[in-house]
């Protein structure tokens, strides 16, 4: 099934980065405006899926040599670790902490431990989505 | 030192075993393990003086305070005796196993982890004062026994034996849990001590007999009483150190412990006395009778253990009868409780040594088949001596410990004939008769075990390995136990003072206030005229005669069918095939059938709840106006849904399905839910891509026009689901039982959670637990898909493990 997909490939090269940037934005903006780890993860996954559709699974696997199963487990560990870390401070499981910091370049920034938890969610979503798609896609 | 934590010491030590096995491979892992029971044994020994005076120790560790469940270690005479047995025999068995299990070929890390796990479980059983934690430890003993029997898991027989023991003992454990719960309801407490103190009030309760029977089921399955004993012979597939430890000295005695522990509560009931004494005595006869049928050395010992457990069980039953007699402390009945505990100690000593000898014979000759063995006496003189001492003690010959307790057993049984409650005056005479016959067979199989292995003609050509004496290290433990069997004969009253009497006082608090009240003096010689002396002489005479002629009549055993075992096998087979057939009845393999089940249940459950709670509420007020956008999107939604159903190609169906998802996303946009809309859009995109990927692998839809038949049932379900969901939506809108929670979120999202986007803050903070579990489920789904696609278990069909 060899078809001419020059157009798809050319567009993908640009669009993928736009989607990825958007994913990062959505992920960080999530706490105050629409977005969050879940959507961010899905968007990232969709960018990778787009690459796969345009260039084929094997090529993408060479470009992004990530083991998605490991990624999922790391995500789960980060999420559980964030939730459990509160025990060390003698507050109930899953208590979040946040404060405002003066950072260079960003100015006054709110940093929230929920973001760490969201990183876990993000990793799990990307990991599982890509695991599923890769496994089914590769199956002969 | 906290006694509760000591219970957990072995299982904590177990955590380091795999590490030690991997890193310090040149030293046998057993040496490290040995430290644990040895240290515990020494510590428990230091408690002896205060406990022997009638004291006790309590220590508590909260487990689930909200449910009032705690680990309470309560040590009195009975608990301490068992703890010493567990750690003492445990240390000897570990020492023995160091020479029995090869450090290079065996998976020692598994073995010792299970063994230490068992040690914790068993200590927990005998020390727990709280019924629920007692149950927890009880099941843990079943599990570790399962793991140890199945230690050589590549053998069919091991797995079979492990499963059999697990099924039977866990069945009993569950019954026992039921009994515990009933006791808890009756006494409004789960503490055994408090239950004992309310014993007189409990007797009249409706649940009393139920609790009694259920708890006895637990005890009888664990202690291999008739008809549940069938798991014990199959458990002999375990490595011999395990058989010596779990299946003769400790775990199977957990049932005896349970009966002893609950005697103060249940003794008032005639049912208890009859059941415990009767089943125990019958088991004793049954086990000793069938021990002679066995050809496997360990098989003989297994049946002998069944029989001996029955003997102790019956003595415990008789000791409960002491509750019903005014002057129980003065008549012969008072021997029963003492004899039970005394024989329990003796049995642990001689049976432990006999099992170790069976293991040595197996290890050094390569077989346990008694038909191939014989004449090992000159080749293995030390083993022979130990086996002889153990067997003679078991047969009740002087000068070994078993003689004394066997005498007292007969005394107790004879005393029952003078007992005139519960129609014992009619049937009482049966007890000494059965006890006597059982003892005769015990005598014969003890001799059978020793002399058919060590005497007779040596048959080197039948043995897989040339026989020779075991290494010294392997002999230490059995020799030590054999010496103990002799020593006990000469100092029975010292043993009685320190170990037996404190335990007896715990079993029969209705007779004795403190251990010093137990006026039992053990003597080897009671005088000429006692009936038990003549019974003993009779046993020796008849037993000796029958052993002499054993070869003439032993083949008659082949006439007895193996009813109980074939019953178990049939039951297992039927439940296996029956469950399989039942599952195949509704598991059609078609998703459409499963959808029918799911949707039907959805309708039944939701509509059922509606009807039960009278929740039908239709309130059309406060509805938002339906605008042009909504109508257009609705039409698109309906149009694309219908397209899926009628499309001829898969590609069309997939694209139409995507259109459904996008229309829903547009609804979210209109209803000002940007988060949902965004997520929905991305999900739709990815799932369409996924469909396209999977699409590649699917077969072509056949070109042949095939008209779908109209199915009335499906139509009803389809309409039903639609109606149900509409009703749910309307009812949710109309009848608001509680004020909406969104106001709370609006107020607190910035002040409490430090965020602005409520949806996301709910996900990561307010309901973070949900998200945590959801991503857990996602991970599981990923693993599931990998297993489905990558592993392809279907290719290996026909490799069912039981075939």
**Smallest Cα distance from B785 to chain A, Å:** 7
Put simply, the answer to whether A30 touches B757 (Cβ < 8 Å) is yes
CA A129/CA B452 separation, integer angstroms: 69
Q: Are B218 and B172 in contact (CB under 8 A)?
A: yes
Put simply, the answer to whether B689 touches A133 (Cβ < 8 Å) is yes
Tokens standing for residue B432: 């000494």
CA angle B243, B246, B250 (to 5 degrees): 135
Residue B99: how many CB atoms within 10 A of its CB? 21
Distance of CA B721 to CAs B477, B619, B729, B730, Å?
72, 21, 12, 14
Put simply, the answer to whether B757 touches A32 (Cβ < 8 Å) is yes
Q: Is residue A15 part of a domain?
A: yes
Sketch the domain layout of chain B as residue ranges. 1-210+241-266, 267-564, 576-697+713-737, 740-803
- For the cut 90, the answer to whether the pLDDT of residue B168 exceeds it is yes
pLDDT at B422: 62
Put simply, the answer to whether A117 touches B776 (Cβ < 8 Å) is no
Mutate to test the interface with B, among A29, A82, A96 (most CBs of B within 10 A): A96
CA angle B78, B84, B86 (to 5 degrees): 100
- For the cut 80, the answer to whether the pLDDT of residue B469 exceeds it is yes
Residue B420's pLDDT band, with cuts at 50, 70 and 90, is low
**For B753-794, how does the pLDDT look when each residue is reduced to its tens digit (9 = 90+)?**
777 788 888 888 888 889 999 999 999 999 998 888 887 655
CA B44/CA A80 separation, integer angstroms: 41
Residues of A in contact with B686 (CB under 8 A): 42, 45-46, 49, 129, 133
Put simply, the answer to whether A75 touches B772 (Cβ < 8 Å) is no
Nearest to A121 among B683, B759, B775 (CB): B775
**Smallest Cα distance from B697 to chain A, Å:** 8
Q: Is residue A87 part of a domain?
A: yes
Total tally of structural domains belonging to chain A: 1
ipTM of predicted complex: 0.89
Nearest to A124 among B689, B755, B778 (CB): B778
Put simply, the answer to whether A26 touches B782 (Cβ < 8 Å) is no
B358 closest CA partner among B484, B253, B242: B242
Nearest to A133 among B674, B693, B753 (CB): B693
> Which one has a higher pLDDT value, B183 or A139?
B183
Smallest CA–CA distance from A50 into chain B, residue: B689
Put simply, the answer to whether B761 touches A133 (Cβ < 8 Å) is no
Secondary structure class of B561 (helix, strand, coil): coil
Query: Domain residues for A94?
Result: 6-138
pLDDT at B803: 40
Q: Is residue A79 part of a domain?
A: yes
Put simply, the answer to whether A133 touches B757 (Cβ < 8 Å) is no
Residues of A in contact with B678 (CB under 8 A): 26, 34-35, 39
Put simply, the answer to whether A112 touches B689 (Cβ < 8 Å) is no
**For A95-108, how does the pLDDT look when each residue is reduced to its tens digit (9 = 90+)?**
888 777 777 777 77
Secondary structure class of B191 (helix, strand, coil): strand
Residues 6+ apart with CB under 8 A from B716: none
- For the cut 90, the answer to whether the pLDDT of residue B220 exceeds it is yes
**For B294-303, how does the pLDDT look when each residue is reduced to its tens digit (9 = 90+)?**
889 999 999 9
Determine the length of chain B.
803
Intra-chain end-to-end CA distance of chain B, in Å: 52
Q: Are B443 and B539 in contact (CB under 8 A)?
A: yes
- For the cut 60, the answer to whether the pLDDT of residue B1 exceeds it is no
Q: Is residue A1 part of a domain?
A: no
**For A113-129, how does the pLDDT look when each residue is reduced to its tens digit (9 = 90+)?**
888 888 999 999 999 99
pLDDT at B91: 94
Q: Is residue A44 part of a domain?
A: yes
Put simply, the answer to whether B789 touches A49 (Cβ < 8 Å) is no
- For the cut 70, the answer to whether the pLDDT of residue A3 exceeds it is no
Q: Is residue A76 part of a domain?
A: yes
Residues 6+ apart with CB under 8 A from B522: B338, B342, B404, B408, B492, B493, B496
CA B315/CA B348 separation, integer angstroms: 16
Residue B136's pLDDT band, with cuts at 50, 70 and 90, is very high
Q: Going by DSSP bridges, is the β-strand pair A98-103/A107-112 parallel, antiparallel, or unpaired?
A: antiparallel
Distance of CA A7 to CAs A15, A55, B67, B685, Å?
12, 12, 66, 19
> Prior bond to B399 cis, omega within 30?
yes
DSSP string computed for B235-260: GGGS-HHHHHIIIIISGGGHHHHHHH
Nearest to A75 among B692, B697, B775 (CB): B775
pLDDT at B276: 92
Alpha-carbon Rg for chain B in angstroms = 34
B514 in the Ramachandran plot: left (φ > 0), alpha (ψ -120 to 50) or beta? beta
Residues of A in contact with B790 (CB under 8 A): 135
B686 contacts chain A (CB < 8 A): yes
Percent of chain A whose pLDDT exceeds 70:
96
Q: Are B72 and B191 in contact (CB under 8 A)?
A: yes
pLDDT at B687: 86
- The mean pLDDT value for B575-593 works out to 90
B757 contacts chain A (CB < 8 A): yes
Residue B424's pLDDT band, with cuts at 50, 70 and 90, is low
> Prior bond to B795 cis, omega within 30?
no
Instruction: Spell B44-60 as b/e; 16+ CB within 10 A means b.
Output: beebbeebbebebeebe
Mutate to test the interface with A, among B671, B775, B790 (most CBs of A within 10 A): B775
pLDDT at B801: 47
Q: Is residue A104 part of a domain?
A: yes
- For the cut 80, the answer to whether the pLDDT of residue B102 exceeds it is yes
């Amino acid at each position: 099934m060899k078809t001419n997909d020059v157009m798809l490939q050319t567009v993908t090269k640009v669009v993928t980065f736009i989607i990825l940037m958007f994913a990062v934005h959505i992920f960080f903006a999530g706490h105050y405006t629409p977005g969050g780890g879940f959507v961010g993860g899905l968007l990232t996954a969709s960018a990778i899926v787009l690459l796969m559709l345009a260039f084929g699974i094997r090529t993408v696997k060479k470009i992004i040599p990530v083991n998605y199963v490991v990624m999922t487990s790391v995500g789960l560990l980060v999420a559980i670790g964030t939730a459990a870390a509160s025990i060390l401070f003698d507050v109930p499981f899953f208590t979040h902490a946040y404060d405002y910091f003066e950072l260079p370049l960003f100015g006054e920034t709110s940093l929230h431990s929920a973001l760490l938890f969201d990183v876990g969610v993000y990793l799990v979503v990307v990991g599982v989505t890509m695991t599923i798609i890769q496994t089914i896609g590769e199956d002969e | 030192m906290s006694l509760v934590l000591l219970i957990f010491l072995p299982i904590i030590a177990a955590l380091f075993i795999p590490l030690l096995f991997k890193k310090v491979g040149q030293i046998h892992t057993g040496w490290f393990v040995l430290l644990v029971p040895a240290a515990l044994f020494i510590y428990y020994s230091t408690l002896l003086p205060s406990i022997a005076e009638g004291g006790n120790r309590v220590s508590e560790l909260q487990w689930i305070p909200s449910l009032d469940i705690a680990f309470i270690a309560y040590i009195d005479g009975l608990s301490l005796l068992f703890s010493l047995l567990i750690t003492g025999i445990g240390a000897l068995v570990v020492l023995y196993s160091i020479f029995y299990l090869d450090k290079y070929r065996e998976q020692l890390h598994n073995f010792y982890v299970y063994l230490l796990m068992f040690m914790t479980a068993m200590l927990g059983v005998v020390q727990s004062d709280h019924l629920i934690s007692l149950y927890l430890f009880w099941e843990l003993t079943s599990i570790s026994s399962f793991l140890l029997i199945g230690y050589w898991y590549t053998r069919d027989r091991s797995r079979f034996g492990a499963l059999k023991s697990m099924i039977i003992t866990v069945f009993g454990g569950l019954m026992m849990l039921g009994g515990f719960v009933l006791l808890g309801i009756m006494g409004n407490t789960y503490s055994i001590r408090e239950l004992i103190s309310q014993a007189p009030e409990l007797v009249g309760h409706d649940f009393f007999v139920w609790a009694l029977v259920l708890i006895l089921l637990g005890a009888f399955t664990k202690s291999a009483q008739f008809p549940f004993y069938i798991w014990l012979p199959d458990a002999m597939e375990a490595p011999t150190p395990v058989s010596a430890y779990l299946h003769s000295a400790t775990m199977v005695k957990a049932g005896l412990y349970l009966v002893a522990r609950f005697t103060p509560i249940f003794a008032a009931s005639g049912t208890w006395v009859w059941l415990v004494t009767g089943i125990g005595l019958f088991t004793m006869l049954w086990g000793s009778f069938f021990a002679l049928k066995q050809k496997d050395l360990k098989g003989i010992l297994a049946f002998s253990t069944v029989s001996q457990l029955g003997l102790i069980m019956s003595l415990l039953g008789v000791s409960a009868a002491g509750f019903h007699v005014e002057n129980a402390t003065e008549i012969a009945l008072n021997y029963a409780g003492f004899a039970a505990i005394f024989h329990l100690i003796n049995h642990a000593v001689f049976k432990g040594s006999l099992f170790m000898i069976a293991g040595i014979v197996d290890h050094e000759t390569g077989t346990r088949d008694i038909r191939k063995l014989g004449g090992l006496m000159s080749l293995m003189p030390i083993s022979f001596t130990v086996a002889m001492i153990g067997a003679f003690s078991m047969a009740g010959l002087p000068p070994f410990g078993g003689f004394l307790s066997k005498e007292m057993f007969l005394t107790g049984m004879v005393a029952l004939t003078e007992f005139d409650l519960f129609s014992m005056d009619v049937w009482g005479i049966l007890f000494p008769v059965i006890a006597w016959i059982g003892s005769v067979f015990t005598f014969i199989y003890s001799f059978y075990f020793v002399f058919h292995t060590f005497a007779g003609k040596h048959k080197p050509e039948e043995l897989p390995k040339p026989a020779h004496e075991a290494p010294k290290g392997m002999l230490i433990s059995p020799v030590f136990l054999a010496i103990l069997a002799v020593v006990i004969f000469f100092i029975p009253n010292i043993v009685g003072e320190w170990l037996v009497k404190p335990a007896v006082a715990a079993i029969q608090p209705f007779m004795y206030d403190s251990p010093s009240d137990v006026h039992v003096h053990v003597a080897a010689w009671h005088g000429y005229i006692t009936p038990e002396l003549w019974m003993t002489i009779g046993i020796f005479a008849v037993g000796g005669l029958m052993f002499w002629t054993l070869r003439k009549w032993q083949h008659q055993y082949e006439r007895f069918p193996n009813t109980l075992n074939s019953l178990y096998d049939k039951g297992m087979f039927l439940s296996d095939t029956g469950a399989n057939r039942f599952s195949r009845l509704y598991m059609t393999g078609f998703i459409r059938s499963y959808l029918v089940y799911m949707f039907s249940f959805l309708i039944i459950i939701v509509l059922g709840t509606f009807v039960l709670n009278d929740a039908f509420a239709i309130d059309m007020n406060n509805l938002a106006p339906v605008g042009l956008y909504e109508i257009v999107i609705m039409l698109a939604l309906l149009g694309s849904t219908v397209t899926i159903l009628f499309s001829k190609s898969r590609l069309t169906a997939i694209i139409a399905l995507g259109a459904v998802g996008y229309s829903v996303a547009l609804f979210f946009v209109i209803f000002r839910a940007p988060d949902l809309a965004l997520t929905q859009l991305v999900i739709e995109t990815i799932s369409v891509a996924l469909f396209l990927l999977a699409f590649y692998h699917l077969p072509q839809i056949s070109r042949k026009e095939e008209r779908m038949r109209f199915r009335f049932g499906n139509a009803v379900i389809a309409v039903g689901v639609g109606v149900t969901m509409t009703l749910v939506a309307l009812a949710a809108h109309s009848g608001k039982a509680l004020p909406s929670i969104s106001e709370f979120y609006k107020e607190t999202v910035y002040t409490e959670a430090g965020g602005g986007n409520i949806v996301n803050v709910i996900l990561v903070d307010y309901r973070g637990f949900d998200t945590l579990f959801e991503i857990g489920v996602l991970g599981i789904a990923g693993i599931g898909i990998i297993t489905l696609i990558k592993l392809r278990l279907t290719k290996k069909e026909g490799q069912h493990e039981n075939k």
